[in-house]
C-alpha cells in the first residue's frame, strides 16, 4: 500500500508543479478558503489510483468533501487525502506546499506520505518505520530512516506560516523555545519526525486531511500528536456537536519528549 501512496504522490506532485509553473486562477470555496486547478487535478489522480488499487476502502478527500461527496459509512479503515496542503503557500508562490495521502485504521493514522514537489522533500511512514525519500525527476533514488528526537532544551518549535494565533504565541513563550521554525503545510510534522524540531503547537483550525499524513509519518518516527487534554488525536470524527465533520480540535505534536501541553 505504501508503494501505491508514493507513486500517486509523485504523479500528483508532477501535476501540481505543472500548474504552479503555468499559473492558474484562484477560486474560493464556501468557507472562503482558496482552491485551484492544482488542487482539483491532484485529487483526481490520487482518487483514481486509490480506487483502482483498493476499491473496498472509502476515500475522504478535501475537494470531494467540500462538495458534499462522502461515503455514508467509513468502516474501520479509510483514506484521507489532501491533494494540495498549503494552497495559500501555492497561491503566494512559496515552496512549502505538499501532497498528502494517509490510511486511517480504527481512528489512528497508520500509513502516510507527504511530498513537497517544489522542494523535492518526500517523507513516508508506516508502523515502526519512517523514511526521508530522495527523488530525481519524480523517481525514487534513495531512502533514509528517520526518527524523532528526544526534546532538546531549550526546544525548537515549528509554527504555521499562514495560520499563527495569539494562543500559539503564548504557548511558545511558556516553553522558552530557543528557535522557532516557520513553515507551511504538513511539513511541520515531518520536521519533528526527522529530528529537525521538537514541538508543533496548533491552536488554529485544521481538518483531518490537513494532518493525517504528516501525523502518520510522525508516529512512525516515534512521535505523537495529542489534544490539549493529552489524548492521541483521533481521526474519522463525524457528527461532532461543536464542529463539522472531520474538524480537528487544537493539538500539540511532539517528538519523543514533549513540551508541556
- Give the pLDDT of the chain (261 residues) as one tens digit per residue: 999 999 999 999 999 999 998 877 677 666 656 678 888 999 999 999 999 999 999 999 999 999 999 999 999 999 999 999 987 888 888 888 999 999 999 999 999 999 999 999 999 999 999 999 999 999 999 999 999 998 777 888 998 766 677 888 888 888 876 678 878 779 999 999 999 999 999 998 899 999 999 999 999 999 999 999 999 999 999 999 989 999 999 999 999 854 444
Residue that is last in its domain, among 111, 146, 181 = 146
Q: Report yes or no on 44 lying in a domain.
A: yes
pTM comes to 0.92
Q: What share of the chain is helix, strand, coil (3-state, %, to 5)?
A: 30, 30, 40
Asked whether residue 50 falls in the same domain as residue 87, the answer is yes
Asked whether residue 132 falls in the same domain as residue 8, the answer is yes
* Residue 194 cell numbers, joined: 526527522
Look at the chain and report how many structural domains it folds into: 2
Q: How far apart are CA 19 and CA 141, in angstroms?
A: 25
Amino acid at each position: 500500500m505504501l508503494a501505491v501512496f508514493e507513486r500517486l504522490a509523485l504523479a500528483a506532485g508532477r501535476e501540481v508543479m505543472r500548474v504552479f509553473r503555468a499559473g492558474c486562477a484562484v477560486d474560493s470555496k464556501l468557507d472562503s478558503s482558496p482552491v485551484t486547478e492544482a488542487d482539483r487535478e491532484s485529487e483526481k489522480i490520487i482518487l483514481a489510483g486509490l480506487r483502482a488499487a483498493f476499491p473496498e476502502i472509502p476515500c475522504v478527500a478535501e475537494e470531494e468533501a467540500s462538495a458534499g461527496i462522502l461515503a455514508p459509512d467509513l468502516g474501520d479503515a479509510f483514506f484521507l487525502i489532501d491533494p494540495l496542503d498549503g494552497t495559500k503557500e501555492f497561491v503566494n508562490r512559496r515552496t512549502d506546499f505538499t501532497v498528502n495521502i494517509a490510511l486511517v485504521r480504527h481512528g489512528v493514522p497508520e500509513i502516510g506520505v507527504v511530498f513537497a514537489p517544489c522542494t523535492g522533500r518526500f517523507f513516508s511512514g508506516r508502523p515502526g518505520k519512517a523514511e526521508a525519500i530522495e527523488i530525481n525527476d519524480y523517481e525514487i533514488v534513495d531512502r533514509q530512516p528517520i526518527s524523532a528526537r528526544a526534546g532538546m532544551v531549550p526546544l525548537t518549535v515549528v509554527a504555521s506560516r499562514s495560520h499563527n494565533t495569539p494562543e500559539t504565541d503564548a504557548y511558545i513563550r511558556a516553553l522558552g523555545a530557543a528557535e522557532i521554525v516557520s513553515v507551511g503545510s504538513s511539513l511541520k510534522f515531518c520536521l519533528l519526525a526527522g529530528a529537525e524540531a521538537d514541538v508543533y503547537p496548533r491552536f488554529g483550525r485544521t481538518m483531518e486531511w490537513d494532518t493525517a499524513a504528516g501525523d502518520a509519518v510522525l508516529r512512525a518516527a516515534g512521535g505523537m500528536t495529542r489534544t490539549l487534554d493529552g489524548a492521541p488525536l483521533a481521526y474519522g470524527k463525524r457528527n461532532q456537536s461543536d464542529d463539522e465533520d472531520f474538524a480537528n480540535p487544537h493539538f500539540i505534536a511532539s517528538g519523543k519528549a514533549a513540551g508541556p501541553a
